[in-house]
Structure formats: C-alpha cells, structure tokens
Homo-oligomer: A and B are copies of this chain.
Amino acid sequence: MSSTDGDGPGPELSRNLVYLLKHAQLRMAELGTNALTPYGIDGREMGVLLALADREPASQQQAAQRLGIDRTTMVALLDALERKGLVARRPHAEDRRRNVVELTDTGKETLRSAIEANDDAEREFLAPLGAQAAERLRRSLQAIVLRPDGRRT
C-alpha cells in the first residue's frame, strides 16, 4: 500500500497556492509547536511574546494589531501567558482603560530559548531548499504579508 494509485496531489493541485500555503503553514506550525513544547508555549504564544518584545511596551490592543489578530482573541492568549508567569499586565499610568503588557524576566528568558528552538524548526522546514532559496522565500513572504496597504484581516 505504499507508492500506488492516487496517493499524492496531481499536477494542477500542486500548483495551487491555496493548497501549497495551507500545507506549508500546517507543517511549519507543527514543527514549531513541537520545538516549543519544552518551554511550555506554542507558536501562537511565541508570536505574542515576540510582538511584545519587538517594540516598546504595548496595550493589549496594540499587541493584537502587531499580530494581526482581534483584541478579543488576545485576552485568552494573555490570560494563559500571565498564568505561566511570562507576561504581566499593569495599569496604564495615563489611561486607565488600558493595560500595559510586558514580558516578565522569566518571559524574556523563555523567549530567548524559544527563538533558538524555533530557528531550529525553521531550518528543518526549509531543509528542502538551499540557503539562498530559503532566504528568498522568507523575503517574498514578507513582501506579500507586509505590503504597504496592509489592511486588517
């Protein structure tokens, strides 16, 4: 039952970007999740940590915008990260509607390790490509995702 009949995608399906992107994303997400489990977080949570560490301290809404997700989705994400002691909410000095969300020291440490583990996972994901092709893939995706008119999903 190994190499037979209708096992893989046909030639047309293999050219379809919806198909290719979906499965690329699934595979990368799986590799990322596996790589991150030792640190008790998954890819989405690492994204939140990155969004917070990358720039100046942010409100929950700002963090959500950086990640391209809804502010209501951010609530549960931060609940989990706060429970794990990786981020802290504190009240905003001048606007009491807002929370300022920051990484704890543990969070910073965890993020450092997570980035390394995730880099390994990315290397494995990109293994079928040469170094140059890998870098071009990353740049092309950036050009598409970060294109100037970026509207919110």
Q: Mark A residues whose CB is within 8 Å of B.
A: 5-30, 32, 43, 46-47, 50-51, 53-56, 58-59, 62-63, 65-68, 115, 118, 122, 125-126, 128-129, 133-134, 136-138, 140-147, 150, 153
Contacts and interface: CB of A to CB of B under 8 A. Distances in A.
B18 A29 contact: yes
Contacts of A65: 6-8
Given A17-B138, A18-B43, A21-B21, A125 B150 contact: no
Contacts of A67: 9, 13, 19
Contacts of A63: 6
A14 to B, nearest CB: 6
B144 A10 contact: no
9 contacts: A6-B55, A7-B65, A9-B54, A9-B68, A13-B50, A13-B66, A20-B141, A24-B144, A136-B136
Given A6-B66, A11-B54, A129-B140, 17 more contacts: A6-B56, A6-B59, A6-B62, A12-B53, A13-B67, A16-B118, A17-B122, A17-B125, A18-B25, A18-B43, A18-B46, A21-B21, A21-B141, A27-B145, A133-B140, A133-B143, A136-B140
A142 B53 CA distance: 33
A19 B118 CA distance: 12
